[in-house]
């Protein structure tokens, strides 16, 4: 095709394609008569599909990408010639529209020009000579195009910082231009300059005015991209945004309601108001994250956000449900206390899960965890409504629903874990119902990861109260069945020899605490043979946990794969559907769930399992805190073993005699490591106390 086109390429490129890139009569009419529509069409991806101008830009971009050696220089010389003619002409005869097309071409080719010599070295002089002067052009569309092109090249290395500074100042000034399209293009360009700015003092001094101009523009235009600029500013300045946080949230909330009202009156699926509404909520989350270390601010922001959360946690908010849940998560996690008004959202979360929001269960898990873990007393004592009962109703309905897939209910056992870990000694009456529910689902579970989560519920129950849990398991007639499955899962390995189950540090730690808790039971509840089995399994698991922690410490600091609280989505093996251990069958399918604290960008995607430990995935509750964070499993194990030795020396002696050299060596290593951990823990406490004292003094 290219060979057929080549003889006529100059005609096509310079007489057909380039004129399509230039400002035309239709653009001028729309600019003057309906600037809002001009802006909308300019930033509408649907319009781009049918735009001859966009097609022309794509043609040029592909031509220089695929056939750059033959065509890039020729095209750039053509653009330079337009620049020269424009410079040489008097004001009344300047080819403004051709200059507009030339600037559009330069902006469209930015990626190619940034990495291709000799053009790469000439970008700064080109901007200074041919782009920056148009910031003060008498022609509005050239002022807008100058802002857009400057934004495209804001990330280059300016040899003269004054040139970057001048462009930034011009872009900021453009936000107060009398022409709406110029103001909009200036705001979009500002995002790139904020990202590239090395000296924030350039922006810091004008920040209040900048934010004021930004919200004035938001009152005029509903555009999701506008909010991206605000998010970038908030990200860049972090806690410095604290003085503006309340005002920003109030203005974003007002903008959100305006967008919602607009979108409700517009039946078009691609309504920009709906997209802008979601953008407002994301910006609010960004602000909340930026002031997360200033919890006192949250109480002031809460009244502004409550109406949004209350309405958008119903079916009215299905299009922005993830964004709203993120806000709820921040508010319940970073506020000094969870207010009664915030607790009023709990029933809405339960209703949503029961009616239509099961797909959002991983997202809802985060605020529910926050409610229980950060406001435990209220969760336990309030009876109107009865939060314990409502949680049970929801979990029992979800876990017993045969129509739900295993991955749909994975957050359910995690919530049971939250209850047992945070309400130690205070929910004895829920131990039997939750264990019964867990065992029933365990019998039909197919996915190994769900099986691990359900077994971890048993481990959490043992850590909560080993004696009560064992009594319940025996009462239900499943003790032998459950423990056999658990020990089989602990022993199962992949072809490479790595553990097939309980892969993450958190998984191993929960199992260690549960098994160790069994060692506290008297001989009539845990006979000698069972004691030996539990003791040996715990030793092996502690060694595996120790090795994994050591391996994680060697990794890059930014690699969070092995954080203590990490829970992964495991292999999608097939089994017989019974309460047994899955047969190893080589390739397995994993799921990956990505999320920030409040669950942004969550989705499942398959990933091939190469039968290696590296297939461990992030989970939706990767960064959540837990009461067991402060419990060291090695110290806990050794303390428990010493208690056993002191309380029943003969029983302990019998246990020791059953250990061969291998297990004696493991026990000795764990003992030494526990002593080392005691020293490290004490050192960490002293460092924290010192830091706290220094902070208080300052």
The answer to whether residue 76 scores a pLDDT higher than 70 is: yes
Rounded CA separation 696/694 (Å)? 5
At 624 the pLDDT is 59
With H, G, I as helix, E, B as strand and everything else as coil, classify residue 247. Answer: helix
Residue range 344-354: mean pLDDT, rounded:
97
Distance of CA 687 to the CA centre of its chain: 31
At 272 the pLDDT is 62
Rounded CA separation 681/687 (Å)? 10
**Structural domain count, the chain:** 2
The answer to whether residue 216 scores a pLDDT higher than 70 is: yes
Q: Which of 121, 156, 183 is the last residue of a domain?
A: 183
Q: Of 628, 208, 169, which Cα lies nearest the Cα of 418?
A: 628
Q: Determine the structural domain holding residue 654 and report its residue range.
A: 428-696
The answer to whether residue 421 scores a pLDDT higher than 90 is: yes
Q: Which residue has the higher pLDDT, 311 or 697?
A: 311
The answer to whether residue 619 scores a pLDDT higher than 60 is: no
Q: Is 342 inside any structural domain?
A: no
Residue range 558-583: mean pLDDT, rounded:
43
At 463 the pLDDT is 98
Yes or no: say if 196 and 155 are a contact pair by the CB < 8 Å rule: yes
- CA 225-227-228 angle, to 5 degrees, is 65
Q: Which residue has the higher pLDDT, 386 or 230?
A: 386
At 266 the pLDDT is 60
Q: What percent of the chain has pLDDT over 90?
A: 68
At 536 the pLDDT is 96
Rounded to 10°, the helix 428-444/466-475 angle is: 50
Cα torsion at 621, 624, 629, 630 (round to 10°)? -170
Eight-class DSSP state of 301:
H
Q: Which residue has the higher pLDDT, 95 or 557?
A: 95
At 1 the pLDDT is 65
Under 8 Å CB-to-CB from 374, ≥6 apart: which residues? Answer: 332, 333, 337, 338
At 271 the pLDDT is 60
The CA–CA distances, whole Å, from 583 to 153, 161, 402 equal 56, 64, 23
At 697 the pLDDT is 75
Q: Is 408 inside any structural domain?
A: no
Q: Is 614 inside any structural domain?
A: yes
Q: pLDDT category, 672, cuts 50, 70, 90?
A: very high
At 365 the pLDDT is 96
At 92 the pLDDT is 87
At 391 the pLDDT is 98
Q: Is 683 inside any structural domain?
A: yes
Q: Is 227 inside any structural domain?
A: no
Residue range 558-579: mean pLDDT, rounded:
42
Rounded CA separation 105/99 (Å)? 10
What pTM did the predictor assign?
Answer: 0.83
- 20-71 pLDDT, tens digit each: 999 999 999 999 999 999 998 888 778 878 889 999 999 888 888 877 677 8
Q: Is 407 inside any structural domain?
A: no
H helices within 315-409, ranges in order? Answer: 321-334, 340-343, 346-355, 361-374, 376-381, 387-399
Q: Is 477 inside any structural domain?
A: yes
Q: Looking at 63-67, 379-383, 559-563, which range is the least confident one?
A: 559-563
The answer to whether residue 568 scores a pLDDT higher than 50 is: no
> Mean pLDDT in the chain?
87
Yes or no: say if 461 and 469 are a contact pair by the CB < 8 Å rule: yes
Q: Looking at 248-262, 266-280, 522-536, which range is the least confident one?
A: 266-280
Q: pLDDT category, 555, cuts 50, 70, 90?
A: confident
Q: Which of 153, 183, 213 is the last residue of a domain?
A: 183
Q: Which of 183, 215, 238 is the last residue of a domain?
A: 183
Side-chain half-sphere CA neighbours of 16 within 13 A: 9
The CA–CA distances, whole Å, from 104 to 343, 458, 461 equal 53, 64, 65
Q: What percent of the chain has pLDDT over 70?
A: 87
Rounded to 10°, the helix 411-422/448-464 angle is: 10
Q: Looking at 507-516, 565-574, 671-680, which range is the least confident one?
A: 565-574
- 434-472 pLDDT, tens digit each: 999 999 999 999 999 999 999 999 999 999 999 999 999
Q: Of 483, 486, 581, 488, which Cα lies nearest the Cα of 525?
A: 483
The answer to whether residue 648 scores a pLDDT higher than 60 is: yes
Q: pLDDT category, 163, cuts 50, 70, 90?
A: very high
At 268 the pLDDT is 54
Q: Is 329 inside any structural domain?
A: no
Q: Which residue has the higher pLDDT, 3 or 319?
A: 319
């Amino acid at each position: 095709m290219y060979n057929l086109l080549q003889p006529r390429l100059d005609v096509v490129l310079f007489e057909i394609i380039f004129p399509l890139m230039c400002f035309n009569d239709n653009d001028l009419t729309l600019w003057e008569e309906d600037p809002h529509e001009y802006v909308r069409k300019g930033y509408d991806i649907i319009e781009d599909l049918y735009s001859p101008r966009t097609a022309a830009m794509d043609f040029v971009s592909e031509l220089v990408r695929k056939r750059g050696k033959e065509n890039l220089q020729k095209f750039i010389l053509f653009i330079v010639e337009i620049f020269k003619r424009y410079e040489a002409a008097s004001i009344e005869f300047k080819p403004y529209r051709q200059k507009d097309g030339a600037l559009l071409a330069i902006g469209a080719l930015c990626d190619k020009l940034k990495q291709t010599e000799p053009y790469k070295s000439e970008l700064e002089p080109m901007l200074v000579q041919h782009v920056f002067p148009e910031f003060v052009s008498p022609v509005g569309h050239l002022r807008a195009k100058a802002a857009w092109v400057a934004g495209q090249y804001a990330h280059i290395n300016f040899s003269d910082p004054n040139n970057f500074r001048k462009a930034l100042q011009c872009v900021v000034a453009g936000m107060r231009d009398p022409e709406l399209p110029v103001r909009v293009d200036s705001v979009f360009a500002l995002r790139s300059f904020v990202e590239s700015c090395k000296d924030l003092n350039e922006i810091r001094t004008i920040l209040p005015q900048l934010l004021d101009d930004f919200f004035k523009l938001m009152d005029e235009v509903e555009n999701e991209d506008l909010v991206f600029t605000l998010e970038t500013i908030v990200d860049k300045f972090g806690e410095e945004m604290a003085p503006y946080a309340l005002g920003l949230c109030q203005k974003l909330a007002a903008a959100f309601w305006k967008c919602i009202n607009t979108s409700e009156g517009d039946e078009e699926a691609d309504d920009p108001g709906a997209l802008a509404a979601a953008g407002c909520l994301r910006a609010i989350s960004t602000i909340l994250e930026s002031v997360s270390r200033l919890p006192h601010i949250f109480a002031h922001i809460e009244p502004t956000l409550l109406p949004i959360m209350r309405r958008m946690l119903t079916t009215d908010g299905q299009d922005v449900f993830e964004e709203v849940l993120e806000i709820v998560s921040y508010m319940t996690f970073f506020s000094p206390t969870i207010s009664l008004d915030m607790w009023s959202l709990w029933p809405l979360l339960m209703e949503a899960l029961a009616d239509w929001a099961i797909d959002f269960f991983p997202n809802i898990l985060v605020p529910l965890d926050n409610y229980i873990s950060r406001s435990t007393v209220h969760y336990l004592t309030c009876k109107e409504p009865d939060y314990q009962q409502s949680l049970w109703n929801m979990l029992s309905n979800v876990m017993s629903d045969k129509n739900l897939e295993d991955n749909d209910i994975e957050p359910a056992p995690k919530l049971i874990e939250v209850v047992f870990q945070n309400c130690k000694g205070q929910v004895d009456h829920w131990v039997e119902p939750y264990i019964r529910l867990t065992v029933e689902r365990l019998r039909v579970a197919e996915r190994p990861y769900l099986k691990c989560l359900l077994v971890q519920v048993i481990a959490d129950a043992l850590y909560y109260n080993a004696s009560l849990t064992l009594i319940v398991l025996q009462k239900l007639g499943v003790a032998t069945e459950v423990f056999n499955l658990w020990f089989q899962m602990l022993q199962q390995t992949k072809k490479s020899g790595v553990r097939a189950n309980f892969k993450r540090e958190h998984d191993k730690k929960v199992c260690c605490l549960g098994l160790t808790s069994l060692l506290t039971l008297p001989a009539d509840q845990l006979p000698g043979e069972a004691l030996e089995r539990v003791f040996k399994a715990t030793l092996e698991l502690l060694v595996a946990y120790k090795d994994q922690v050591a391996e994680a410490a060697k990794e890059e600091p930014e690699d969070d794969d092995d954080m203590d609280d990490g829970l992964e989505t495991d292999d999608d093996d097939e089994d017989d559907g019974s309460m047994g251990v899955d047969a190893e069958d080589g390739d397995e399918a994993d799921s990956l769930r990505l999320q920030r604290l409040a669950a942004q960008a969550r989705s499942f995607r398959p990933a091939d399992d190469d039968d290696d430990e590296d297939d461990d995935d992030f989970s939706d509750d990767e960064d959540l805190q837990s009461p067991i964070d402060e419990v060291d499993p090695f110290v806990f194990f050794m303390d428990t073993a010493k208690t056993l030795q002191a309380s029943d020396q003969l029983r302990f002696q019998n246990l020791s005699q059953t250990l061969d050299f291998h297990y004696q060596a493991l026990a000795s290593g764990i003992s030494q490591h526990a002593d080392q951990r005691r020293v490290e823990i004490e050192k960490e406490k002293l460092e924290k106390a010192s830091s706290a004292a220094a902070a208080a003094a300052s």
